[in-house]
Amino acid sequence: MKDPVADFWGNIECALDQGGFRYILDDLVSKVRAQLDDSSMTALSIDRHDPYSDIAAIAQKDGLEDFALALRFAND
């Protein structure tokens, strides 16, 4: 399975040019969620539909550095 974070960064330039940024961001979150155990704090945050900044903070604590960085980029 391809790394969803790598896919996100690989598609970012095209998405920004074509206005599809929200789509690739939502796709990233859903693909990462599918890889997480239901008891993961990040998974629970995603399931609650927390703001991306909150999910990023929790992902950082869970050791999902690349995912957290991508979410923080989206909020900037």
pLDDT in tens, 25-51: 898 999 999 999 999 999 999 999 999
Q: How confident is the model at residue 17 (pLDDT cuts 50, 70, 90)?
A: low
Interval 9-16 mean pLDDT: 72
Residue 76 has pLDDT above 70, yes or no: no
Alpha helices in the chain, H assignment, sequence order:
4-18, 21-35, 41-47, 52-61, 65-75
Q: Which residue has the tokens 């995912």?
A: 67
**69 vs 6: CA distance, rounded Å:** 12
For the chain, the structural domain boundaries read 4-75
